[in-house]
Amino acid sequence: MKKKLLAIIFILLVAFVRAENGYDLWLRYPPIKNKMLLASYRLALQQISIQGNSATMQVVKQELVKASQSMLGQTPSFTTSTINYSSLVIGKMGASLTAGPLLKNDIKDTGEEGYSIITSIANGKSQIIITGNTDVSLLYGVFHLLRLMQTQKDIHKIHIISTPKLKLRLLDHWDNLNRTVERGYAGSSIWDWHKLPGYIDQRYIDYARANASIGINGTVLNNVNANATILTAPYLVKVKALADVFRPYGIKVYLTARFSSPIEIGGLKTADPLNEEVRLWWKLKAKEIYAIIPDFGGFLVKANSEGQPGPQEYKRTHADGANMLADAVAPYNGIVIWRAFVYAAHNPIDRHKQAYEDFVPLDGQFKNNVMVQVKNGAIDFMPCEPSHPLFGAMTKTPLMMEFQITQEYTGQSTSLVYLAPLYKEVLNSDTYSKGNGSTVAKVIDGSLYNHTLNGMAGVANIGSDINWCGHPFAQANWYAFGRLCWDYTQASDTLADEWLRMTFSNEEKFIGTTKNMMLASRETMVNYMNPLGLHHIMGTGHHYGPAPWINDQSRPEWNPVYYHKADSTGIGFDRTATGSNAIAQYFPAAQKQWNEVGSCAEIYLLWFHHVPWGYTMKSGRTLWDELCYKYYKGAADVKKMQQDWDAMESFIDKERFLQVRQLLSIQYEEAVWWRNACLLYFKTFSKMPIPAQYAQPDKTLDYYKGLHFPFAPGNN
Amino acid sequence: MKKKLLAIIFILLVAFVRAENGYDLWLRYPPIKNKMLLASYRLALQQISIQGNSATMQVVKQELVKASQSMLGQTPSFTTSTINYSSLVIGKMGASLTAGPLLKNDIKDTGEEGYSIITSIANGKSQIIITGNTDVSLLYGVFHLLRLMQTQKDIHKIHIISTPKLKLRLLDHWDNLNRTVERGYAGSSIWDWHKLPGYIDQRYIDYARANASIGINGTVLNNVNANATILTAPYLVKVKALADVFRPYGIKVYLTARFSSPIEIGGLKTADPLNEEVRLWWKLKAKEIYAIIPDFGGFLVKANSEGQPGPQEYKRTHADGANMLADAVAPYNGIVIWRAFVYAAHNPIDRHKQAYEDFVPLDGQFKNNVMVQVKNGAIDFMPCEPSHPLFGAMTKTPLMMEFQITQEYTGQSTSLVYLAPLYKEVLNSDTYSKGNGSTVAKVIDGSLYNHTLNGMAGVANIGSDINWCGHPFAQANWYAFGRLCWDYTQASDTLADEWLRMTFSNEEKFIGTTKNMMLASRETMVNYMNPLGLHHIMGTGHHYGPAPWINDQSRPEWNPVYYHKADSTGIGFDRTATGSNAIAQYFPAAQKQWNEVGSCAEIYLLWFHHVPWGYTMKSGRTLWDELCYKYYKGAADVKKMQQDWDAMESFIDKERFLQVRQLLSIQYEEAVWWRNACLLYFKTFSKMPIPAQYAQPDKTLDYYKGLHFPFAPGNN
């Protein structure tokens, strides 16, 4: 009775003093209120047998203590003995853990990171066993078990075997050394280079915890628009300090390599990848790095793109450049990730086609520790974009997926847009490269063309804001990205469910409403920003807000007018044979989906076709009316989100409730702005009215054209 | 018994789940553990009678609830009736509060911000009454009462009357619109302009709470190196949103005005302050601002200094410029704060003298809503600097003090340096302008020359770091500055004591040790950076670390060699009649203190004199040996701080303990760096050895000269 009372008091008090500022992400570990569950979880975490004493196992222990104290009001007792009555046993198979043939079979194929969690009976009492082949696999298993508790699952009978589908699960930080973040919308960089290596910010540790909890195992610390200073000795000591923090969490550090570093910090006159001095410089640099960071992951390189230096300056190929770096890191099992996001100045062909034309001819020429990293689509992380034609087209080269978690084109930090549906759409799309079912996922997981190296990278949305991501719901994109890296077959719905429960509440009413908000949010955003295949019509530079009218940029493919091609006859980019023929880069079966106006999925209609304003859509509406319909629906659906959220007030803390409410209000304003600005502008070509049933724009096109955002964030 | 048990459990649990990340500053409200005090405070906050329902009174109520729940585990009950058994009565005198003649007399002279707190007996029970003449005065009184509890003072018998000695108590934020902070060492600007006005960050509210708790009543939101964009309509709406947040806390918003704004955002061809169009533009701009922010404080201006535009471009005086703006804001009771920190390019005279020469002739020409803001010293916020000769020299103009809270020259964010002793040293220094006792404090509080306008400004050290100020102890400088604005007669010791108790712990052992660390820290920093009156010998641009050797800057007064003038004969800047004669700007009695080498206080020796290396100091050591002694003592005293802090581990939370430990370790490295670099460099002139009893530098002068910090923070 007394014990029960204390538990209840505990729960109330913890709930009361908890500061819900978002810093704790999905690792809040709020008290379990359901008595049955609480009892069951308390029992499960009462006595824990832990095998091993590595830094990783220390982390395992700390996390269990933290979670148990916070969720259950109980401090577990730990033992190293396995032959006992421990309620939870955590250990690598073989060493000291004894287990039946079932368990041995379970972890046979779990590799270096997979794990098994089973319940069994020991001495008449229920026991949970977490096992795997490495310490880090055990950490992953523990986070899985904790997730079951955070989401209030029954743990009486579990039999889980989980192995990551992808080997490299990376975050790419576009963080500059001056702490600005390119396309960052959550304050400044969390890397406080000035105070490193002497000062280890608690954030570094919590960053590692959060990433380990979702399976991220690598981080590229700095911007692909690179600065060579990161490779100088004073900075490598700082990088080492971070690597040391991350290592116990199974996270390797990578750096971007500025191709001209041998000139800028090496004192050489050239960066020609076939020059012996240059090659030696990189070899010595790699040696220097690995001497202090033995498990350094490798280099990420953006070369000959948007002003970055590269091998083409010396009339060498991307393969020459990548292979030189690959040779430098090969002795240490390092890898080189070479970005395919290239488009040359003054190249008159459709930008859509350029990466393919540059890279397909190089297939087979890359060393075996090189991966080519491809953005999900051929243009640039658009709200809705067909998958990149390179997927399936380079069979001899392991391709790494590059997604954007940071919402450069998808609402930045003011919009609730859950990106898992976008990720899934791309991963599930069929390249038809080896017949039906040759999905992008199978290309990048290495299964289609037998590549050992495989992985996904997400451009991080993390910054110095207290809640890490600016928008409370932006945390869901970090979460979902990591979980999809581990297993891309998981449903958007499942991941939203998990994240909501851990981040906010397990109340079913709350989950029901907010999950629907999340799942619909991406389509809503597409509707009010880029419906029917429109793309790249945002403001120049900062990419904030609509600016389809821009046509004064020095390079044609920087201008929105290049992409929508609206004129008196219609709107859209003809990428079929009668136009740029970019569609020819896709496999025939894929082409077939989009080649005809009549059969092309309408979400890609204006991506591939220039369509007359009066064209009849599937809805029966004209194209113009459909455009109006989509734009108005998008904005109206944001209004609906606002109403739904307002009804959630009683379920969660006041602080985050108000944050989201304010942000949804901004999002609605922005949706109306996109809608009105785009329709008023396109109307000058269609010469058709916005149908009378809609509230007409209350501002003029000139008003929208006159808006300027000199200090919009993320534009470095 | 049961109640008691609950209270104890509560305290333990709150302590346990509290995240000590520094965000809560000195408003942590940790649970009171002392049973007697707890009982007494619980009684005092049991039933609270609150008069009035303004936004400020809502804030009063919220703060009392928060503090009471957190410190006492008790939610107060509130009433509006005064004739009752309330333990605490809060109300303005007169309206509904009845009180004896004593109380009436108490608040007679407390003005708009002062308050009285007394204990009396009502209906046989003890009652605390907080009263004043405005709602904000009541808020100040409540924070005072809460401070008594936080510092665990006996509240059985209190009789406090407190009135601010200064009218304007401002923070100057050198924050840019792109969120970089000039001379900021705690991340980026807390003002998220992009998301304003729609998104009110919780930080804005907590910023206001923290400032109100120490009496700050104004904030200049943006950098004195100003951008006119802040004065455009879209930004004024954002400024209004902040002003609305701050208003209930008694904080007015001010902006810096870029002098050339009429050209840059007004479309005019000139910014000549005597041009009628220009004058009209500012009048309309003021009208526009006051229409949406009726209590807008006014403008702060840096003109004709370091590249900023100003009236001198039009052959007008600073008075012409200031008066034009003063006329614009006068109808709304706004003020203009005009900075005296000017030094012209290509002016060959000692920079020390320039502000005086520019401004003294203008005394009497400024409108009565103009204040001239003067840095504490004539050079630039040096670690140790005589007070500015302008204090006392402009009798007809109200002078505003400008201190730096941000530690530009005093260790930035890696050093524990408590600045209250510096502030006090300046405020207590005697100008002798009206005879003995004409202290700087009396100049700036208006009492010496009968000015109604008076105040102090501190350049803020606040940024987006979770703990606001980067270094946990840097919070103490924000705190002490505010408290000294309220009452500059308070001792550094008292304020350190208060701050430590509220921020860390009331344990006497902890207080004893750490207070001594704080009180000695500024002298320690002076010793290892700028002993004996050395100044401005830091790195160029970022001002990080020592660089006394720099002599290649385009303007002479930007070079450290200009300031130390070391040569084969000696070191120091002769500012007496045989040199620049800057000393003549001081009043004769002040001059007398410093004019002779033999009698000049040694902390200012090299400030005013060029002294031979072999000169015999008061210690009996030669100047060179004394220099070595001071530098070595400074570094050794940091080592001592490290040892003292290590002994504090058991008294406070692990997170902040480790933060400070790491930072002290960095500070020690930096102290050794300063010591070695400076001594190795000055040794090339003195040709004397570093005495053998000291550990000799293990690096060469060239090593130190070769250090570069391309991304040192705060250098915008």
Q: How far is A180 from chain B (nearest CA, A)?
A: 9
pLDDT band at residue B93 under the 50/70/90 scheme: confident
Pick the range with the lowest mean pLDDT from A8-12, B215-219, B499-503: A8-12
Query: Minimal Cα–Cα distance from B681 to chain A, Å?
Result: 23
pLDDT for the residue A348: 72
Chain B: residue nearest A5 by CA? B6
CB contact A706 to B (< 8 Å)? no
Q: For residue B12, what is the nearest residue in chain A, using CA coordinates?
A: A10
Where are any strands of DSSP class E within B369-506? Answer: 370-375, 399-404, 455-459
- DSSP sequence for B319-386: HHHHHHHHHHHGGGT-EEEEE-----TT--S-HHHHHHHHHGGGTT-S-TTEEEEEESSSSSS-SS-P
Interface residue B669 vs chain A (CB under 8 A)? yes
**Measured between beta carbons, which residues in chain B are less than 8 angstroms from residue A197?**
none
Give chain A's residues under pLDDT 70.
1-19, 82-84, 95-103, 344-347, 716
A611-612/A570-571 β-pairing: antiparallel
Task: Report the residue from B10, B195, B663 with minimal CB separation from A414.
Answer: B195
Angle at B399 between CA B397 and CA B404, to 5 degrees: 160
CB B174 within 8 A of CB B181: yes
| Cα distances (angstroms) measured from residue B460 to each of A593, B386, B477, B504 | 60, 22, 9, 22
Type and span of the H or E element at A256: strand A252-256
Interface contact A584, partner B, CB < 8 A = no
- In the numeric block, which tokens belong to residue A440? 């992008």
User: In chain B, pLDDT over 70 holds for what percent of residues?
Assistant: 95
ipTM of the complex: 0.95
Q: CA nearest A11 in B: which residue?
A: B13
Number of other residues whose CB lies within 10 A of the CB of residue A364: 10
Query: What does the alpha-carbon distance between residue A359 and residue A505 come to, in Å, rounded to a whole number?
Result: 47
* Model pLDDT, residue B2: 55
Cα–Cα distance list, B116 to A122, A518, B79, B84, B490 (Å):
69, 53, 20, 20, 18
pLDDT at B11: 47
Test A9 with B10 for CB contact under 8 angstroms.
yes
Residue matched to tokens 């190296």: A453
Judged by CB atoms within 8 Å, which residues 399-438 of A form the interface with B?
413-414
- Residue that wins the pLDDT comparison between B396 and A344: B396
Per-residue pLDDT averaged across B447-474, rounded? Answer: 98
* Predicted pLDDT at A15: 46
* Residue A654 touches chain B, beta carbons under 8 Å: no
- B667: nearest CA partner in chain A: A198
Averaged pLDDT for residues B489-514: 98
Q: Which of residues 189-218 of B touch A (CB under 8 A)?
A: 192-195, 198-200, 202-203
Please, which contacts does B61-64 make with residues 24 or more away whose CB atoms are closer than 8 Å?
Answer: B63/B139, B63/B142, B63/B143, B63/B146, B63/B209, B64/B142, B64/B146
Catalytic residue flag (residue A380): yes
B187 touches chain A (CB under 8 A): yes
Q: Taking Cα atoms as reference points, which of A332, A271, A270 lies closest to residue A296?
A: A332
**Residues of chain A contacting residue B414, judged by C-beta atoms under 8 Å apart:** 195, 198-199
- DSSP H or E segment with residue A147: helix A135-150
Give B352→chain A minimum CA distance, Å. 32
Indicate which of A11, A194, A464, A469 best probes the interface with B, i.e. most B CBs within 10 Å of its own CB.
Answer: A194
Give Cα separations from B234 to B138, B195, B197 (angstroms). Answer: 35, 12, 9
Which candidate from A19, A198, A669 shows the least CB-CB separation from B665? A198
Work out the percent of chain B whose per-residue pLDDT is above 90.
90
Looking at chain B, how many residues does it have?
716
Q: Residues A541-577, buried b or exposed e (16+ Cβ, 10 A)?
A: ebbbbbbbbbeeeeeebbbbbbbbbbeeebbbbbbbe
For residue B345, the model assigns a pLDDT of: 63
A642 touches B: beta carbon within 8 Å: no
Kindly state whether A716 is in contact with chain B, defined as any CB-CB distance less than 8 angstroms: no
Q: Give B152-196 pLDDT, tens digit per residue.
A: 999 999 999 999 999 999 999 999 999 999 999 999 999 999 999
Contacts of B276 (CB under 8 A, 6+ apart): none
User: Residue holding tokens 């913890």?
Assistant: A14
> Which amino acid, one-letter code, is at B683?
K
A187/B contact by beta carbon, under 8 A: yes
Contact at 8 Å (CB) between A320 and A272? no
Using a CB–CB cutoff of 8 Å, tell me whether A58 touches chain B. no
Q: Per the CB < 8 Å rule, is B414 touching A199?
A: yes
Element (H, E) at B252: strand B252-256
**pLDDT at res. A83:** 63
Residues of B in contact with A265 (CB under 8 A): none
Written as six digits, the tokens of B150 are: 């936080």
CB of A130 within 8 A of CB of A116? yes
CB pairs under 8 A between A and B: 113
The answer to whether A267 contacts chain B (CB < 8 Å) is no
Shortest Cα–Cα distance, B10 to chain A (Å): 7
- Return the half-sphere exposure (C-beta side, CA atoms, 13 A cut-off) of residue A315: 0
> Which of B178, B199, B464 is facing A711, going by the closest CB pair?
B178
The edge-to-edge listing of strands for the beta sheet with B88-92 is B77-79, B47-50, B88-92, B125-132, B115-122, B159-162
Question: Which residue in the list A380, A385, A625, A626 is annotated as catalytic?
Answer: A380
B2: closest chain A residue by CA = A2
Catalytic residues of B: 306, 380, 408
This prediction has a pTM of 0.96
Structure confidence at residue B124 (pLDDT): 81
User: Are B168 and B217 a contacting pair, CB within 8 Å?
Assistant: yes
Q: Which of A109, A154, A277, A306 is catalytic?
A: A306
221-250 of B, contacting A, C-beta below 8 A:
229
User: In chain B, which residue's Cα lies nearest the Cα of A669?
Assistant: B198
> What pLDDT, on a 0 to 100 scale, did the predictor assign at position B432?
98
Residue A322 structure tokens: 């990548």
Is the confidence at residue B3, as pLDDT, over 70?
Answer: no
B12 pLDDT band (50/70/90 cuts)? Answer: very low
